Amino acid sequence: MQDFLILLAQQSINGIYLGCMYVMVALGLTLIYGVMNQINFAHSDFVTIGAFTAFFVASRVATGWLGLPDTAAYLMSVVFAVGAGALLGWLVNAAVFAPLRNRGDELRPLIATIGVSVLLENGLLALVGPTPYQFDSPFSRELIRVGRIFFTQQTLLVIGFTLLAVGALYGFLKFTFLGKALRAVAQDRETAGLMGINPALLIALTIVIASALAGGAGAMLGPVMVLSPFAGATLIVKAFAVVIIGGFGNIEGTILAGLLTGLIEVMTVQYLGSGMTDLVVFGLLLLTLALRPTGLIAERREVNV
């Protein structure tokens, strides 16, 4: 019995860690859909660019040019990855999404996200080449033991970063003027505009925040995946599954579904084998669509963000 409880605690920590990674990737997707009722297929490439930004800042700039220790270099790279994601989101919105959105056709911006994704992937391929990179985090090398349970400092960092991101996003949406205005735009864009709110500015802010979250997610995920121009594509499918299971556009549902998916995955690996993880997760997705199409938390646009 004691061994079972220790195993359960160990796998629960692993599941929360994995779930936090899914939550970080899915939060941006949920935020954009909740405000704009639009899916961003280029979101995975923002994650990839965040990972590459963190890698080059940590390995070339911070340690090479500035001579910082590994831990400081990695933390510095996370800040740069968040900034790179935000800047990229602003540029893509200004150059692509906003002009198409102003034409009153919801399908064109959706198709444009696919074009942006292809453009970013091939741009990265031309810039860094097809050779995979290995991003080593100094926190992954430091083990923490609590009795017979162990985990790395990277695990704590990922969980802490996710809590910080979720808390900051919640505080911004609930307690700031811009956050309340953004929620008003999500509820009724035309009425919000009549009340003196600039919907275009708030939509741009939404994309910037979602892209910054994607950049930070890339910095956290970089050390646990092989970096390539197409690395984010392997994550986005699970992120979409998390968003659908949680309820499209609902932040609370996304958080719950991400953690649940992470726990289910590690338990599946433990008892059924790693080859069954996708089968179980997407089986859960199909079951959710069949029994509860609205997701774990039904979509209500006035409370989604």
Could you count the other beta carbons within 10 Å of the beta carbon of residue 66?
11
pLDDT for res 289: 84
Helix 277-291 × helix 251-271 angle, to 10° = 140
Residue 62 predicted with pLDDT over 70: no
Q: Any bridge partners for residue 150, and if so which?
A: 145
The Cα 42–Cα 29 span in angstroms is 10
Quote the pTM value.
0.90
Per-residue tokens: 242: 């998390």
Is 146 strand, coil or helix?
Answer: strand
> Residue 303 is inside which H or E element, if any?
none
Structure tokens at 219: 């910095």
Residue-wise pLDDT tens digits, 173-202: 888 988 888 888 888 888 888 788 888 888
* Angstrom distance (rounded) from CA 168 to CA 165: 5
**Tens digit of each residue's pLDDT (9 = 90 or more) over 198-220:** 888 888 999 999 999 999 999 99
pLDDT, position 63: 65
Q: Which parts of 37-152 fold into alpha helices (H)? A: 43-56, 70-92, 98-101, 107-128
Other beta carbons less than 10 A from residue 218's beta carbon: 34
- Residue 298: the pLDDT is 65
pLDDT in tens, 80-91: 999 999 999 999
Instruction: Summarize pLDDT for 247-299 with one digit per residue, the tens.
Output: 877 888 899 999 999 999 998 888 888 778 888 888 888 888 888 888 777 65
How is residue 173 annotated by DSSP?
Answer: H
Given a cut of 90, whether residue 146 has pLDDT beyond it is no
- Strand, helix or coil for residue 149: strand
Please name the fold of domain 2-291: ABC transporter involved in vitamin B12 uptake, BtuC (1.10.3470)
